[in-house]
Chain A
Amino acid sequence: MTGGAATIRPKPRAITVAGSAALCLMVVGLYMSVTAPKEETQGEAARLLFVHVPSVITAYIALGTGLVAAAWYLIRRSPTADLVSAAAIEVGVLLTAMTLLTGMIWGRFVWGVWWDWGDARMVSTAVLFFFYLGYLALRRAIVDARVRALRCAVLGIVGFVQVPIVHYSVLWFRTLHQGPSIIRPDLADSTMDAAFVAPLGAALAAFIAALAYLLLVRVRIARLEAAVARSATTSQPVGASVGPPQLGGRDGR
């Protein structure tokens, strides 16, 4: 790469496609969520299902992508795998935060409390959130790109053990949080009326498209940043034309 500035590649078409798909699916999902029937026990509050559950499922997918990309980095030492892993985990942290927030609002409406430290599902989700916040802090704490990539890859893999803990916490422990309605040990006996499954599916599709969009954008930003950082270290410094003082002066006398 010559010339100071990084070459700016045109915006990939995949970003536009994922963004438009997310937008369209979100409109459909929102419409279906609002027009879904009322739930017998929870009433209108049950509509939070269409935000809370897609948030956590896409958070799992994002953190899973972080895990796979981290493993890919350890095998191939590809800088792109490191960037993808970091981007996925960053989006995963955002989605976990959304899960906690919507869960707290839902809990206040239905259970009567915002939070309960005795509940295994809530506590394990909070631990997951703070663990991955720690991952993001670690990325900013290490200057050397290769050391950072290596350590973060290991952390990104280790952290994922919490995902099954969070998911199974409601089956392993007695909790205030209800058990799974669809992803149950016996998948055949779903406890959710079909009238709720359809809007949930639409909302999930919207969240997955949004996840793809955010991931693509975040990876692109990271690559551009890396390119700028590379060009900054390889291009000529400003004072390069000024030579050191030489014996006898510049004309050699």
Chain B
Amino acid sequence: MNRRHLLVPAGALLAIVVGFLVWGGLTENVVYYLTPSEAVDQRADQEPGYRFRLGGLVEADWMEGTDEGVRFMVGDGAVSIPVEHAGAVPQLFRPGIGVVVEGAWDGDLFRSDTLLINHDEQYRAVDGEGTYQVPTGQP
């Protein structure tokens, strides 16, 4: 095999590495979301209005539907952050499930406009219906 034949694989390998680096740069960092503890720790270093993703488990207390969406607490066992979400609420949203919300601090409140479900790798069989009704804002 002469040197010319190494060009294609070397270029391909380079493309893969550059691709991942560019992607890492585009998404700020390869940390997809901050946990509530990290978010509180890093708050002092962030500029006002800095957008980031916050990930944790939905806590039942304080949870209620609002006109625009839903408000709830996101916690990681140590720290809990109140979240006001305005926008679509996925069907699987319920207390105890993992979520990723995207938004920024507003005082001690986290205002989010994107709410994603981040469920775990558990697969449990059920016989019944087992559906949870998301509380609505209407009185």
* Chain A residues within CB distance 8 Å of chain B: 36-43, 46, 49, 109-113, 116-120, 123-124, 127, 131, 134, 138, 150-151, 154-155, 157-159, 161-162, 173-176, 178-181, 191-193, 195-196
Contact = CB atoms under 8 A, between A and B. Distances in A.
Contacts of B32: 118-120, 173-176
A119 B32 CA distance: 7
Nearest to A39: B123
A198 B1 CA distance: 48
A159 B126 contact: no
Contacts, number: 119
Contact of A191 (B15, B30, B123): B123
A158 B23 CA distance: 20
B12 A158 contact: yes
B118 interface: yes
Contacts of A110: 90, 92, 117, 119
B125 A111 contact: no
Contact of B5 (A36, A134, A150, A162): A150
Most A Cβ at <10 Å: residue of B1, B16, B53, B120: B16
Nearest to B23: A123
B134 interface: no
Contact of A158 (B9, B20, B122): B9
B55 interface: yes
Say which size band chain B's interface belongs to: 35 or more
Interface of B: 1, 5-6, 8-9, 12-13, 15-16, 19-20, 23, 26-27, 30-33, 53, 55, 88, 90-92, 97, 100, 115-127, 130-131
Contact of B116 (A41, A112, A193, A196): A112
B16 to A, nearest CB: 7
Contacts of A159: 12
Nearest to A120: B30
Contact of A41 (B5, B9, B19, B124): B124
Given A40-B126, A191-B122, A192-B123, A155 B16 contact: no
B116 A111 contact: yes
Nearest to B10: A158
